[in-house]
Structure 1
Amino acid sequence: MSISLSHPTPSDLAPLFEPLSIRGLTIPNRLIMAPMTRSFCPDNVPGPDVVGYYERRVEGGTGLLITEAIGTDHPASVGDTGLGEENLPLFDGQRTIDAWAKVVDAVHARGGHIVPQLWHQGPMRMPDGKAPAFSPSGLYGDPSKAAEYYIDKAQIISSAPMPVPTDEEIADVVAGFGRAARDAVAAGFDGLALHGAHGYLIDAFLWGETNRRPAPWGGDAVARTRFAVEVVKACRAAIGEDRPLIFRFSQWKQQDFRAKLAETPAELEAILGPIADAGVDLFDASVRYFNTPAFPEHGDLSLAGWAKKLTGKLTGAVGGIGLIKGKYDTDNAISEASNNLGLLLRRFEAGEFDVASVGRAILQDPQWVRKARNGEPLPAFDPASVSVLT
């Protein structure tokens, strides 16, 4: 039966609504909520409004929720977002465990599943008078290569002092990820996700532009995976063998949208292989538009498709699902709706990936998954209309 790429029917989309088991967790469908930082956690903890935010997305039919990025207890983990808001969540002890437990309990009460995304902003952190930003070699990257959307922010960040951390300080950051993972288990989360993309700390260790260290934390592309590997191992030890561990990676960086983590499939395999072996269950391949071939000279396969082919792990596609443009393709980030689920389904049924992460579309409308399933019109995205109450 032929599937319309521009107007898929609800029956066409049925494969996206089949369950999937990821280690010890089974989710009801393949459409998951991507992690999206919103800066709505005063004093670094979620309140009742955040509880409601996640509840509504379960009620809207989303198969798995991945939270906004949550920092560890390291002093440089999170800071000013550059938007005048410092209300970023943390895992740093019982008060944060208790706050997130209320979110988890509410999601579970509605039959949903939720995992937290852990991050450390690394060099992508605005100077805020607290601990200096943390980067493998004390480097931000070349601010002249940042996209126009980020150019002013890049100039500020790159001029801020970033001392070169010692091996011992790096090891302590790794341990902090493990402590945060234990907090996530204590709060009742169903698994864990790690932010290893977009120029943040884990990615900064993977990228040769920001990691110019010698061994043991630097060197060639494989040697540069050590930080990511140790973080994954620490988190796996903390969450046990039953909960899934998701790892987000990307080619592009906020410091340089044209940067590439790997120039060839072989280079990508060398990087993802050790990380996969450390305990990852699913690679979340972040691109600006999900339908873009990762290595055009090697065929039409997407980044998620290559990750699955090279590692044998489950993978997820993300980037512009339900919208016409990628997040940074317009200055104002407004995007018209696009029912590109036909294109998504074509790659999904070809076996390129196992889940699809939907970001802005679900941020805009908590009922987006239900509407997509029923063939209803999909909304455009306008960031001006998104609030904590959405």
Structure 2
Amino acid sequence: MSALFSPITIRSIQLKNRIVVSPMCQYSSENGFANDWHLVHLGSRAVGGAALIFTEATAVSPEGRISPHDLGIWKDDHIAGLKRITQFINQHGSIAGIQLAHAGRKASHHRPWDGGKAIPPAEERGWETVAPSSIPFIEAEPRPLALTKEGIENVLIDFQDAARRAVEAGFQVAEIHAAHGYLLHEFLSPLSNQRTDEYGGSFDNRIRLLLQVIEQVQAVWPEEYPLFVRISATEWTEGGWTADDSVALASVLKTKGVDVIDCSSGGNVAHAKIPVGPGYQVEFAERVKQEAGIMTAAVGLITHVDQAEAILANGQADFVLLGREFLRDPYFPLHAAHALGDDIIWPSQYERAKPK
């Protein structure tokens, strides 16, 4: 059996292989509701053999959405649509995961295919954004409101309530989104967090909100279910969050009961020079895994079977998360198993097409 198709158990959850569908924004919701698009998009990856399938960044509050079309879990009415999806994923031998997110100062934007620009609060479908400090992501955009202590308490409540709803909806893995320049990452970074209270300044202060979010989520998240945290392992910018910071954070998160660190990068500096290329973020997953002693997931332009197998076989990460490649090929795991000579179970409906 290849490394890519070796099963692994995290807490009580067994994953049949190491291939994970990375959270990918679809911008296809109205008022946060999951619909047929989400069922087919996520369900087809279950049919395709992925072990773990994450939803897109799912907003814990209306103001936490990147766009008015983001998936949401801020009210009980959202549960039924999401449960329909988790049931389908489970029926096909995969595990359903949810990424809980708050977009912070990067909220209230048009969808990419609608131009992607910020929607001012005064415009229809726009709203006031929040952040650790009143610093916009791009200077020309509206300035966010610096969160008050009351605002921070509301964020903590929103994450806990969202986690409770996620359990009711049938998710068995949760990932807290603390990357890509969204709210929790904004608190981590000295570039976006210029607070002078207990949430700003020192490393310990800047990671405080993330630790509190984890604590709130764990209060309602079943102990037998895994918890991931996605981080931007570096901001690729002088004076920003670094790989050293990520190792230090991961070491703390391990003591707090986090199971896996999902290692992405960037997103908090508009014009950062990022050396994008095949597997360009794998080094961070490897370093965090080795130095913090915690399981990691590698993500970022992982597109080929041999590339994914090598990452795992060389011990650089415990999982590979694919995004764009899964958009191109929902059945990547089925094709990968054939390429590696692994005999895996195909859906009964597709069995007659299985290569011999």
Query: Do the two structures share a fold, i.e. TM-score over 0.5?
Result: yes
Is 2:296 aligned against 1:315? yes
Equivalent of 1:302 in 283, 288, 301: 283
Secondary structure of 1:315's aligned partner: strand
Distance of 2:223 and 2:239 partners within structure 1:
32
1:55 Cα deviation from its structure 2 partner: 1.5
* Equivalent residues of 2:133, 2:194 under 8 A apart: yes
The verdict on how the C-alpha distance between 1:351 and 1:69 changes in structure 2, with shifts beyond 3 A counting, is same
Aligned to 1:25: 13
Matches within 5 A, 1:81-96: 86-96=68-78
Tell me, which stretches of 5 or more residues in structure 1 are unaligned? Answer: 1-10, 81-85, 142-153, 295-300, 323-338, 377-390
Distance of 2:120 and 2:151 partners within structure 1:
20
* Equivalent residues of 2:136, 2:143 under 8 A apart: no
Letter of the 1:29 partner, please give it: N
Equivalenced residues, count: 316
Aligned to 1:234: 216
Tell me, which stretches of 5 or more residues in structure 2 are unaligned? Answer: 110-118, 266-275, 341-356
Equivalent of 1:205 in 184, 187, 192: 187
Letter of the 1:319 partner, please give it: G
Secondary structure of 2:57's aligned partner: strand
* Equivalent residues of 1:291, 1:344 under 8 A apart: no
Instruction: State which drifts further: 114-123 or 364-373.
Output: 364-373
Aligned to 2:330: 366
Distance of 1:259 and 1:318 partners within structure 2:
23
* Equivalent residues of 2:190, 2:241 under 8 A apart: no
Aligned to 1:328: none
* Equivalent residues of 2:66, 2:106 under 8 A apart: no
1:30 Cα deviation from its structure 2 partner: 0.3
Letter of the 1:269 partner, please give it: V
Aligned to 1:196: 178
1:345 Cα deviation from its structure 2 partner: 2.8
Aligned to 2:151: 169
Secondary structure of 2:176's aligned partner: strand
Is 2:316 aligned against 1:352? yes
Secondary structure of 2:203's aligned partner: coil
Aligned to 2:65: 78
Letter of the 1:58 partner, please give it: A
Equivalent of 1:140 in 131, 136, 140: 136
The verdict on how the C-alpha distance between 1:311 and 1:65 changes in structure 2, with shifts beyond 3 A counting, is same
Letter of the 1:303 partner, please give it: F
TM-score when scaled to structure 2? 0.83
Secondary structure of 2:28's aligned partner: coil
Aligned to 1:46: 34
TM-score when scaled to structure 1? 0.76
Distance of 2:307 and 2:37 partners within structure 1:
35
The verdict on how the C-alpha distance between 1:259 and 1:180 changes in structure 2, with shifts beyond 3 A counting, is farther
Secondary structure of 2:130's aligned partner: coil
Secondary structure of 1:52's aligned partner: helix
Is 2:166 aligned against 1:178? no
Aligned to 1:284: 262
Distance of 2:23 and 2:140 partners within structure 1:
25
Distance of 2:238 and 2:13 partners within structure 1:
34
C-alpha offsets along residues 141-163 of structure 1, whole Å, 9 cap, x if unaligned?
A: 4xxxxxxxxxxxx3543xx0322
Letter of the 2:246 partner, please give it: L
* Equivalent residues of 2:243, 2:284 under 8 A apart: no
Letter of the 1:44 partner, please give it: G
Secondary structure of 2:220's aligned partner: helix
Distance of 2:37 and 2:310 partners within structure 1:
37
Secondary structure of 2:98's aligned partner: strand
Aligned to 1:327: none
Secondary structure of 1:279's aligned partner: coil
Distance of 2:234 and 2:17 partners within structure 1:
28
* Equivalent residues of 2:21, 2:53 under 8 A apart: yes
* Equivalent residues of 1:69, 1:117 under 8 A apart: yes
The RMSD of aligned alpha carbons is: 2.1
Letter of the 1:101 partner, please give it: K
Secondary structure of 1:192's aligned partner: strand
1:268 Cα deviation from its structure 2 partner: 3.0
C-alpha offsets along residues 284-304 of structure 1, whole Å, 9 cap, x if unaligned?
A: 001455634x7xxxxxx8100
1:53 Cα deviation from its structure 2 partner: 1.7
1:259 Cα deviation from its structure 2 partner: 6.0
Distance of 2:338 and 2:279 partners within structure 1:
23
